[in-house]
């Protein structure tokens, strides 16, 4: 006995597999690339629109509150974990000046087909330019 199959069924299964791969693999990468282009060109309204949680990534608000805000984003290398989870990781670096201190923030974000998730990990580094305790003690 030979197994019977329909070409229409095979075509339908192939189409469903292609749609699943597009949604699971290609769309997160394209979302991440659009976000990276927006962040690197300082188009913060587009970057906020791509974010699923606008309150976590409020670039336009940060730009108004922090002096000299510069951002830079890049794609993280592919991993099996990303493929299984259906997302694409990216790394974003932010630098700004606030209250006599230089701040550097590194965020690890994940892009899905629906948008950018809120940051998974955040590393912060502050470099004080003027010591506040010295300034206060010199005034008295």
Residues of the chain above pLDDT 90, percent: 39
Q: What is the pLDDT of residue 137?
A: 40
Comparison of pLDDT for 47 and 98, the residue scoring more: 47
Residue 119 has pLDDT above 50, yes or no: yes
Q: Is residue 31 part of a domain?
A: yes
**Cα 91–Cα 93–Cα 99 angle in degrees, nearest 5:** 150
Tokens matching residue 114: 């629906």
pLDDT of 55: 66
Instruction: Give a yes or no: residue 73 inside a domain.
Output: yes
Say which CATH number the domain at 127 has. Answer: 3.10.450
Kindly give, in sequence order, each residue whose CB lies less than 8 Å from that of residue 121, ignoring residues fewer than 6 positions away. 107, 108
pTM above 0.85, yes or no: no
**Cα–Cα nearest to 50, from 110, 115, 100:** 115
Domain presence at residue 39: yes
pLDDT tens for each residue of 47-56:
888 887 766 6
Domain count, the chain: 1
Reduce the DSSP state of residue 51 to 3 states and report it: strand
Q: Is the pLDDT of residue 138 over 50?
A: no
Determine, yes or no, domain membership for 1: no
What are the pLDDT digits (tens) for 3-46? Answer: 777 899 999 999 999 999 999 999 999 999 999 999 999 888 88
Q: Domain of 68?
A: 7-139
Residue 22 forms part of a structural domain = yes
What mean pLDDT do residues 101-110 have? 86
> Strand (E) positions, 18-137?
67-75, 88-98, 101-111, 121-128
Write phi, then psi, for 109 (nearest 5 degrees). Answer: -115, 160
Question: Which positions ≥6 away from 115 have C-beta within 8 Å?
Answer: 31, 50, 51, 52
**pLDDT at residue 135 above 60?**
no
Domain membership flag for residue 2: no
């Amino acid at each position: 006995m030979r197994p019977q199959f329909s070409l229409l069924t095979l075509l339908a299964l192939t189409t469903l597999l292609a749609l699943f791969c597009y949604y699971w693999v290609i769309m997160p990468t394209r979302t991440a690339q659009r976000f990276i282009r927006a962040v690197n060109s300082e188009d913060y309204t587009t970057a906020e629109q791509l974010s699923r949680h606008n309150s976590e990534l409020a670039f336009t608000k940060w730009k108004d509150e922090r002096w000299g805000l510069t951002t830079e984003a890049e794609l993280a290398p592919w991993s099996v974990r990303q493929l299984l989870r259906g997302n694409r990781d990216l790394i974003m670096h932010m630098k700004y000046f606030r209250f006599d201190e230089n701040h550097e923030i590194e965020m690890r974000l994940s892009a899905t087909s629906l948008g950018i998730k809120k940051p998974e990990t955040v590393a912060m580094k502050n470099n004080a330019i003027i010591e506040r305790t010295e300034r206060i003690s010199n005034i008295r």
